[in-house]
Amino acid sequence: MRLSRFTVAAAAIAVLVLMSSTPVAASSGGLVDVGTDATSYVPITIDGNYEDWEDKPHSQLSYSWDTGNNYHSAALYRDDTYVYLHVRMSPTSYSTFNGYNYHFSADNKWDLYVAAITPNNVAIVDGDNLLEVRNQNNYQLMLNAIGYVTRTAGQPDEWELRIPIEAFAGPDKKFRTFTFQCSNLGEQVLTATGTPTLPFLLAGTGFAIAAIGYGIKRRKRTTK
C-alpha cells in the first residue's frame, strides 16, 4: 500500500520532469513575468507609441506650491532587464519636455543621474524624437538606454525612456527597489519595489517545527 502510493507520487514527478522538457509559460524570478500566454500582458516598447502605458499605474507629479491642476502624469515600471519611465506633461502649464536631472536609484543606495537629450542636441520637432540617455556625471552614453519624446501641436509633450538595470552599480545587480525623482517635474518620488518574505527562512523554520513534532512523536513511542 505504501509502495504503491509512493509509486504514484514518483510517476507524477516523472511526468513533471518530462513536461519540463517542453517550453513552459513562465520563467522564474521575473518581477512582471506573467507568462507568454497571458493575453492581457502588455510589455513596454520604447518607440514613441504610448498605448503600452495605458494599463500601467500613473502618479501625479507636481510641486506642493502648485495647488491648481498643473500636474504631470508619470509611471515607473520595471522588468528583469530595464527600468522604464513614462511622463506626460501637464496640459495646463509647463507642457514642454525637460530631460535633465532624472534621478534613478536602486535599493536607495545606487544612484544614477541621467539626462535624456536629442542626438547632437538638435531641436525637438513635431512628431517622435529619438532621445539618447547620458549619465549626467560623466556625460557618457548609457548603453542600451533609449527614449522617445513626442511633440504634438496643442498637446503637452509626452515621452518614455528605459534604463538598463545593468547600468546601476552594485555587486550582483539584483535590486529590489527602484525609485525615480526629478526636480524639474515635482517633489514626489515614484517607487517600484518588491516585498519578499524571506521565504527560505520560513521554510527552514517550518522544517524545524516539523522536526520538533517528530521528536515529540518519538518520545511518546519510547515512553509507551
Partner 1 sequence: MIPFLLAMLAAWIYLVVVLRRAKLTFFTFLVGSVGLFIFMMILLQPLITAPLSMAVAAATGVIGKVTGMFHAYPQYSLVFIEQGRESISLYIDYECSGVIELLAFTALIWFFPLYNTMEKLIVNISGLIWIFAANIVRLTVISVMVYFFGNNIFFFAHAIFGRIVFYGLSILLYFYVFTRSQIIKQKVGKFKYGVLTSENT
Contact characters 75-114, partner 1, x per CB under 8 A: -xxx------------------------------------
Rounded to whole angstroms, how far apart are CA atoms 146 and 66?
31
Of 45-53, 95-103, 160-168, 199-207, which segment contacts partner 1 by CB under 8 A? 199-207
Residues 4-23 as x/- pattern, contact with partner 1 by CB under 8 A: -xx--xx--xx-xxxxxx--
Among 47, 57, 141, 152, binds partner 1 (CB under 8 A): 57
Alpha-carbon span 214 to 219, nearest angstrom: 9
| H/E stretch holding 201 | helix 199-223
Q: Does 56 bind partner 1 (CB under 8 A)?
A: yes
Three cell numbers written together for 25: 509559460
Torsion of CA 5, 11, 15, 21, to 10 degrees: 130
Q: Is 195 a binder of partner 1 (CB under 8 A)?
A: yes
Query: How far apart, in Å, are the Cα atoms of 108 and each of 17, 104, 169, 197, 217?
Result: 40, 9, 12, 19, 48
Restricted to residues 200-219, the positions that interact with partner 1 (CB under 8 A) are 200, 202-203, 205-207, 209-210, 212-214, 216-218
What Rg, from alpha-carbon coordinates, does the chain have?
25
Q: Which is nearer to partner 1, 25 or 122 (CB)?
A: 25
When the beta carbons of 154 and 196 are compared against partner 1, the nearer one is: 196
The residue with cell 500582458 is: 41
Closer of 82 and 134 to partner 1 (Cβ): 82
Neighbours of 133 (CB within 10 A): 24
Lookup: cell for 66: 502648485
**DSSP β-ladder status, 127-135 and 59-61:** unpaired
Q: How far is the CB of 70 from partner 1 (least distance, A)?
A: 13
Question: Which of 45, 49, 60, 137 touches partner 1 by CB under 8 A?
Answer: 60
The site that binds partner 1 (CB under 8 A) totals a number of residues, namely: 69
Instruction: For residue 28, state whether it binds partner 1 (rule: CB under 8 A).
Output: yes
Interaction between residue 188 and partner 1 (CB under 8 A): yes
Task: Report in angstroms the alpha-carbon separations of 83 from 163, 194, 202, 204.
Answer: 5, 14, 30, 33
How far apart are alpha carbons 188 and 180 in whole angstroms? 9
Give the rounded distance of the alpha carbon of 103 from its chain centre. 16
Q: Which residues bind partner 1 (CB under 8 A)?
A: 2-3, 5-6, 9-10, 13-14, 16-21, 24-35, 38, 40-42, 55-57, 59-60, 62, 64, 76-78, 187-200, 202-203, 205-207, 209-210, 212-214, 216-218, 220, 224
